[in-house]
Structure 1
Amino acid sequence: MALEHLFQGSALNTVDAKGRVSVPAFLRQVIERRGDSRSIVLAKHEQFACLGAYDPAYAALKHAKLERLLEKEETNADAQLEYQQRNLMAFAATEEVPYDTSGRIVLPPMMRRKGGIADLALFLGTGETFQIWNPKTFLEDPRIPEDMKDIARYRLEERGVA
């Protein structure tokens, strides 16, 4: 099942003391094109020190991907355990948050902690999903390509933060 609408682009938004942040309009448009929901599912990213985010309809696609991985590894004795571990991370360690008419969500405290989100949130479209980073963490991660770091620096300069 291919997704017709993909998340792309970047933005930097302020997070207030209560954890409220505006989700960029270009990301909300994709969520609304994919379904009727006006909410976002947040999870700790599997590889990076950030949050992964997606629309609720994507959860079914994510589950199907995990099932296919298990089918490929049925002969592997550790496959079932790995499948269960991935399912826990993919579904138990998530929170669905609605956004209001102005596009604001409240980042739950656990998700802020898991993603290391403080007073700024860097939103990055990554195709099927998008990521929410603390821009400082993003710039310090040696696995991030320099061209992407330059985009983050530009977003910080735009806000007069750099």
Structure 2
Amino acid sequence: MALEHLFQGSALNAVDAKGRVSVPAFLRQVIERRGDARTIVLAKHEQFQALSAYDPAYAAQKHLKLERLLEKEETSPDAELAYQRRTLMAFGASEEVPYDSSGRIVLPPMMRRKGQIEELALFIGAGETFQVWNPKLFLADANIPEDLKDIARYRLEERGL
């Protein structure tokens, strides 16, 4: 099951003291095209010091991907344990967050801590998902290509930072 609508683009938005932030309209449009839920699922990204974000439809697809991975690797003695760990991380360590009519969410404190999100949130489209970064961490990450870092620098310059 391929997702027809993909997340792309970038934006930098302010996060207030209570963790409220506006999710960019171009990302919300993808969520709404994929389904009726005005909900975002947030989880700690598996490789980066960022949050992974997606819609509930992708969460169901992610579960199917993990099931297929287990079937492929089930001859390995550690396959079941690896599967259990991945499903716990994918679903136990995630939170669903609704957004209001203006696109605002409240970042849950644990997710905010896991992503080290402070006063700014950098939103980056990543195809089936999107990422939410602290822009300072994005710029400091050696695994992020310079061309992508230029996007973050541009977004910061737009805000006079």
TM-score (norm 2): 0.99
Question: 1:98: which partner in 2?
Answer: 98
CA distance in 2, matches of 1:142, 1:99: 32
Question: 1:75: which partner in 2?
Answer: 75
Shift of 1:75: 0.5
Question: 1:49: which partner in 2?
Answer: 49
Can you give the 5+ residue segments of structure 2 that lack an aligned partner in the other structure? none
Shift of 1:32: 0.2
Shift of 1:33: 0.2
CA distance in 1, matches of 2:19, 2:74: 42
Shift of 1:89: 0.4
Structure 2 SS opposite 1:57: helix
Can you give the 5+ residue segments of structure 1 that lack an aligned partner in the other structure? none
Question: 2:126: which partner in 1?
Answer: 126
Matched residue count: 161
AA at the equivalent of 1:114: K
1:11-37 per-residue CA deviation (whole Å, 9 max, x = no partner) reads 000000000000000000000000000
Structure 2 SS opposite 1:13: strand
Question: 2:37: which partner in 1?
Answer: 37
CA distance in 1, matches of 2:74, 2:83: 10
TM-score (norm 1): 0.99
Structure 1 SS opposite 2:48: coil
Shift of 1:57: 1.1
Shift of 1:61: 0.2
Q: Which runs of 4+ in 1 moved over 3 A?
A: none
Question: 1:15: which partner in 2?
Answer: 15
